[in-house]
Amino acid sequence: MSALFEPITLRSLTIPNRIWLSPMCMYSAASEGPETGVATDFHLAHLGSRAAGGAGLVMVEATGVRPDARISPWDLGLWNDRQQDALARVAALIRQHGSVPAIQLAHAGRKASTGKANAGGGPLGVEDGGWPVVGASAIPFDDGYPTPLELTETQIAELVEDFASSARRALAAGFQVVEVHGAHGYLVHQFLSPITNHRTDGYGGDFAGRSRLAREIATAVRAVWPADLPVLFRVSATDWVPEQPSWTVEESVLLAKELQAVGVDLIDVSTGGLVPRATIAVGPGYQVPFAARIRREAGLPVSSVGLITEPAQAEAILADGEADAVMLGRELLRDPYWPLHAAKTLGVKADWPEQYGFVVAR
């Protein structure tokens, strides 16, 4: 039996294999009028094809819990009925192909209100369809970016409820897994790291203060999510900024333990994204050691991501106990049928969609 194709059960949900589609923004949602943030036919085709291609779990991209939470005007949202109904079609199609539908809920914080990343990105002014941004502290992301408004404690409480409200909608839309986005320099990560969190109230200072928002959001989401379905949390295990106080893998281990205590079932381990010019040692599987350490020291399941491209490589990560699942991003963009090709490479029987199978089997 291949470790990559062994089912995994989180709570009562069994996911058919350990190859999962990583959430990736497609900048293809409607951006104006009553359809703002609504998934389009592109999302249906894009996500449905990865389910048909054999991914065990298909996760919808970072989805804003409120209008100003989106990274860009072209990102998905989940704060109204139209958005919920459109995403229900996506979740149903994913399940139809035998995969588990998942969704990542997010707030971009100081990295919100930008142009499409695939068109150069950069901050968008209000006159160009953008909006004022908020953050843990009044520290801009980079030169030329706006200074965020520091969130008040009242606004933080409202934000926590926004995550819970979007989780309720995700459940009503048919999703079986929800993930809180706490990585890549977005709002929750901005609270976690001392680089971006200079607060002097109960949400700043030491680890307990900086991690408070992460715990409160995870607790609120868990409270509205069914007890038999899993909650995930994505973390950047390091800021890659060793020359100054920053978020570290040691603190990521501590956070994982605290999140497990409030009902999080798996930590989705990535790195970086907080600052624009970190020095990152990129190479095949370069983030796997962080996942392995969190798994080993925190004692809960993890997924790993980052330049995992070959079936034998992914198989070894799982067989060696470094992760419980692999999140594939670019590789599943290149080849939606990577899981089925990997099964053949590893000698595992896997069924192609019946519409294709009779041709592929020749």
**What DSSP string describes 64-109?**
ESSGGGSSSTTS-B-SSHHHHHHHHHHHHHHHHTTPEEEEEEE--G
Q: Which amino acid is at 49?
A: S
Rounded alpha-carbon distances, angstroms, from residue 190 to 203, 227, 275, 276, 358: 11, 29, 10, 13, 50
d(CA 78, CA 66): 7
Q: Pick the catalytic residue from 186, 286, 337, 356.
A: 186
Structure tokens at 272: 């970086």
Asked if 218 contacts 260 with a C-beta cutoff of 8 angstroms, the reply is no
Give CA separation, 29 vs 71, 165, 168, in Å: 12, 20, 21
- Please state, in angstroms and as integers, the Cα–Cα distance from residue 142 to each residue in 115, 148, 275, 276, 324, following that order: 15, 11, 8, 7, 35
Q: Is 186 one of the catalytic residues?
A: yes
- Evaluated on CA atoms 288, 291, 293, 295, the torsion sign reads negative
CA angle 139, 136, 278 (to 5 degrees): 55
Residues acting as catalytic residues:
186
